[in-house]
Every structure is written in structure tokens, then in C-alpha cells.
Amino acid sequence: MNHTSIFSSASGISFEIFPPKKWESFPNLYETLDALKELHPSFISCTYGAGGSNSKKTAEIVSYIQNQLGIEGIAHLTCAALTKDSFLSTIRAFQEKGIHNVLALRGDKPADMSEEAFAGREYKHPSELIPTLKEAGFTVAGACYPEKHFEAATMEEDIHFLKHKVEQGADFLISQLFFDNEIFYRFLEMCERAGIDVPIEAGIMPITSAKMIGTTINLSGASVPKAMADLLARYQDSPEDMRKAGIDYAITQIRELRERGVDGIHIYTMNHADVARDICAAL
Ligand code: FAD
């Protein structure tokens, strides 16, 4: 398996989902995944707690995607709380479940970890995981930030370390969400100039409720262009109209990105198959 098979689907669309809090909610998530399968994604990725708390859930879900649905599944794996032993046992557990794609991440400081423990963590950056993952036969993705990671002093510095991630063996990159395509095009140009030549998937988050936007901006640092701000002001008191306008905004973004020939579109579904379905139907 290599990264070309990840991009083999004609749709050029992939999805992110997250594990439910409770194991009892797994049947609902499997229904969501069954619905997402009908949209022919190139892959579905599943998030992982920064402290590794839901690693078993991530493995279970990605195994379902890979083995039951027959779609490429990507397990996110954060290194903030990993030791060498827990890293090796986690990737062995992935292999035993037939998982062969990993998105290698650092994760932010888990709430129950002290500043000292976070600063002294065994793996400082996900680039340190990649050579071992590659040797073990995994296809490996990395994260990238069109508006710069919040800790990087400059965009140039962030891209310098992104290039290192690719040199360590990342097969492709998935971007943080953004609402302004121009920012993504500028980022692609910077990557190209830096010699980063792996595929870069564009991260799109459909904003379907006014309350989503605050959390989304806090977590991602994405800037809000005027068109998005106008839409929020106009529809914030009308949930149905807000949902439709948010989906339309995502569709317009995706259409333009595709016209520009981007490598792929990665939709942050927030486990809402209906939103993904509406977007794919319009495309
Ligand atoms: P890094 O690559 O380590 O980058 C973090 C900072 O360190 C950047 O400023 C970078 O410039 C700098 N840096 C990188 N390498 C070096 C180096 N060698 N030396 C010095 N500085 C360096 N979080 C979760 O907890 N679970 C998830 O499932 C999850 N999924 C995500 C999926 C995507 C597509 C994205 C974009 C983010 C996701 N995150 C997730 C959030 C992510 O964990 C955070 O953004 C985190 O702060 C950085 O992770 P990273 O892998 O980009 O780290």
C-alpha cells in the first residue's frame, strides 16, 4: 500500500470523523460511516486524543473503515504523551487490526499533563515518529497550516519544519481548515518554492451553526473573511438558513479549489454525514 492508492478515488474527497465519547454510541457512528461510504471518499481519517486516551477507539473505528467498509482508513496518532514503548505497542496494535495509514501528529498539551511533563516529552515532534512508521510499512500523512501554526514565529519557519517532516518520509499532507482560498493558494506557492513536493489536501470545515464558528476559530486560528462574517451576521438567528448558507459557502470554496486543481479536499465532517452528503450532491 502506498499513498497513490489513497488518492485513487475519483471523488478526490476525504472525510475526518472523531470517536464518540461512549462505546455505546459506536453503532450510531458506524451508521454515519456507512452513509459516508456511499459518497466514495478516497479515505476517512479518525482523530486521536492528544493524551492517547481514545487510542483503542481510534483503532477500532479505523479497522471498521478499512476492513468492513473496504475504504482506506487513516488513524491519527499524537506523540505528546507517547513513550518509545507505548509508540511501538500502539503501532503493533494498529497492524494487528489491519491499519496501514497513519496521520502523525504532535497534539497539544493534554489537560491532565503538567507543563514540565509536556516540555520533557519523549517525542518532541511527529517527524521523529515517521522513520519508524515508514520502516513498519505505514503510509504516513502529516499536518500543515496555511495560516501558520500558532507556535511558529514566522511562516518561513513553519514551512522549514514542514519540509523536514516531508524529508523524514511524510507521503502527503492534510491542511488545517481555512475559509479563504487565497490564503491556501499562497501557502501552496510557498511550499512549492521550499521544494515540498508531496500532495497537500485542503481542509474544509462546513460551518452549519453560529455557535460552531467561535470554537472553530479558537481551535484552528483560521481567519474569517468578510463573506463568512456577513453570512454569520445575517443568519445567526435562523438555524435552518445558517446550515444552508454554511454548506453553500463550503461548496463554493471546494468548487474554486477544484478548478485550481488542488490535490484533494478533506472535509471535517464533525460526524455529520448529512452535511457531507449535501456537499457531495451539489458537487
Ligand atoms: P508539529 O509538526 O510538531 O508542529 C508544531 C510546531 O512545532 C509548529 O510551530 C512547527 O513549526 C514546529 N516544529 C515542527 N517540527 C519542529 C522541529 N523539528 N523543531 C522545532 N520546531 C518544530 N490534535 C489531536 O490531539 N488529535 C488529532 O487527531 C488531531 N488531528 C489533526 C488533524 C489535522 C489535519 C490537523 C491540521 C491538526 C490536528 N490536530 C490533532 C491538532 C495538532 O495536534 C495541533 O495543531 C498541534 O499543536 C501540532 O501538531 P503537529 O503535528 O502539526 O506538530
Task: State whether the beta carbon of 270 lies less than 6 angstroms from ligand 1.
Answer: no
pTM flag (> 0.85): yes
Task: State whether the beta carbon of 125 lies less than 6 angstroms from ligand 1.
Answer: yes
Phi, psi of 265 (to 5 degrees): -115, 125
Identify which of 121, 129, 189, 190 has the alpha carbon closest to the alpha carbon of residue 165.
129
Centre of ligand 1 to C-alpha 144, Å, is 8
E-only strand ranges, the chain: 13-17, 44-46, 73-78, 101-105, 139-144, 172-177, 200-204, 264-268
- pLDDT given at position 207: 96
Grouping H, G, I as helix, E, B as strand and the rest as coil, residue 120 is: coil
Given a cut of 80, is residue 52 above it in pLDDT? Answer: no
pLDDT-derived band at 51, boundaries 50, 70, 90: confident
- pLDDT given at position 1: 47
- pLDDT given at position 3: 54
Cell, residue 172: 502527503
Residues catalogued as catalytic: 16
Task: State whether the beta carbon of 97 lies less than 6 angstroms from ligand 1.
Answer: no
- pLDDT given at position 18: 97
- pLDDT given at position 185: 98
Range with lowest mean pLDDT among 3-12, 109-118, 174-183: 3-12
Task: State whether the beta carbon of 102 lies less than 6 angstroms from ligand 1.
Answer: no
- Whose alpha carbon is nearest atom 23 of ligand 1? 107
CA 169 to chain centre: 18
- Whose alpha carbon is nearest atom 11 of ligand 1? 158
**What is the number of residues in the chain?**
283
